[in-house]
Amino acid sequence: MAMNGTNDTPGAADADCGHSIEELQEYLETGESPASAHIDTCPECQSGLAALRRLRALTGDLISADVEEAEKEELPWLDGLMNNLRLETRAGRRIPLSTEDELDSLFITEGAVTALVRAVGDTMEGVLIGKCRIQGDVDAVGSEITLDIEIAAFFGYPLLPMAEELRREVRGVLALQTELLVGDINIRIVKIHEHEIQQGGSS
């Protein structure tokens, strides 16, 4: 098998047959090599490949052991970190609210609306709210908007009643808390979780 000299490996300990560790590693990772015909029959390359396989397996073991070790300790900074992140809000667009005085300017943020939608979903069993998008011209007071909501459902909860319930609840909460004129609420089920969930309390 002819080898061109373009993939020299500086500093690599080449086997006597002229093939480098790097070539063997690439063959191991991709299953392909310009020199595969040679490698498949060369005893030296075969023993090099075997050693690289052992190294790879051992590396996997080392990482697993490291992760196991890392899992044993708590994350003492977790609460502080999360509190800091909470301050970095994702506000999104401003949705104006009507005011009695023209000089006032009141608004609710898009982020606050999607948080409301999530809060509604989180009070229902068997459903998790995912991505939530408000479509439409939110800047114009009184213009109709569309809500696109992605949800994950959990196994055992009938989907249609769940979606209807969710629509009803979302519509109710948004009517109570915002001035949005909510048109369509499109619900897209992106995932069904098959296992049951451990409930935190009795229901």
Partner 1 sequence: MDNGVQRQPEASGGSVPRDVVGDAVPSESTMAPPTGATAGCHPRRSGSGRTSDGDARAQRQSRAGMLEAAEDAFLVDRAVDGDVAAFEVLVRRYAPLMRAYARRVTGSASDADDVLQEAFTQAWRQLADLNDGSVVKSWLMKITGHRSIDLLRRRREYVPVDESYDLADVAPGPEYAAAASSQMAALRHALDRMPEGQRQCWLLKEMGAQSYDEIAAQLGISSATVRGRLARARTTLMKEMEEWR
For the bound state, the minimum distance from the C-beta of residue 60 to partner 1, rounded and expressed in Å, comes to 9
The tokens describing 28, both together, are: 């191991």
Query: Nearest distance from residue 54's CB to partner 1, in Å?
Result: 7
Count Cβ neighbours within 10 Å for each residue of 83-118 and write b for 16 or more, e otherwise: eeeeeeeeeeeebeeeeeeeeeeeebebeebbebbe
As a whole number of angstroms, the distance between CA 98 and CA 9 comes to: 70
Q: Which is nearer to partner 1, 99 or 146 (CB)?
A: 146
Kindly give, in sequence order, each residue whose CB lies less than 8 Å from that of residue 190, ignoring residues fewer than 6 positions away.
130, 150, 151, 152
User: Given the rule CB under 8 A, which of 38-46, 71-79, 99-107, 135-143 is the region that contacts partner 1?
Assistant: 71-79
| Cα gap 54→72, rounded to integer Å | 27
Residue whose CB is less far from partner 1, 139 or 184? 184
Sites for partner 1 among residues 125-144 (CB under 8 A):
125-132
Q: Which stretch binds partner 1 (CB under 8 A): 3-11, 36-44, 96-104, 135-143?
A: 3-11
Cα–Cα distance between 13 and 75 in angstroms, integer? 43
175 binds partner 1 (CB under 8 A): no
Residues 91-110: x where in contact with partner 1 by CB under 8 A, - otherwise, as a string: --------------------
Q: Which is nearer to partner 1, 67 or 103 (CB)?
A: 67
CB of 77 or CB of 102, closer to partner 1:
77
82 or 103: whose CB is closer to partner 1?
82
189 binds partner 1 (CB under 8 A): yes
Identified binder of partner 1 from the candidate list 1, 58, 140, 175, rule CB under 8 A:
58
| 147, containing H or E segment | strand 144-154
Q: Is 126 left (phi over 0), alpha (psi -120 to 50) or beta?
A: left
Say if CB 201 and CB 161 are below 8 A apart. no
- What is the DSSP pairing of strand 144-154 with strand 181-193? parallel
CA 120 to chain CA centroid, Å, is: 22
User: Is residue 49 near partner 1 by the rule CB under 8 A?
Assistant: no
Is 53 a binder of partner 1 (CB under 8 A)?
no
Chain positions 74 to 93 lying near partner 1, rule: CB under 8 A, are 75, 77-78, 81-82, 84-86, 88-90
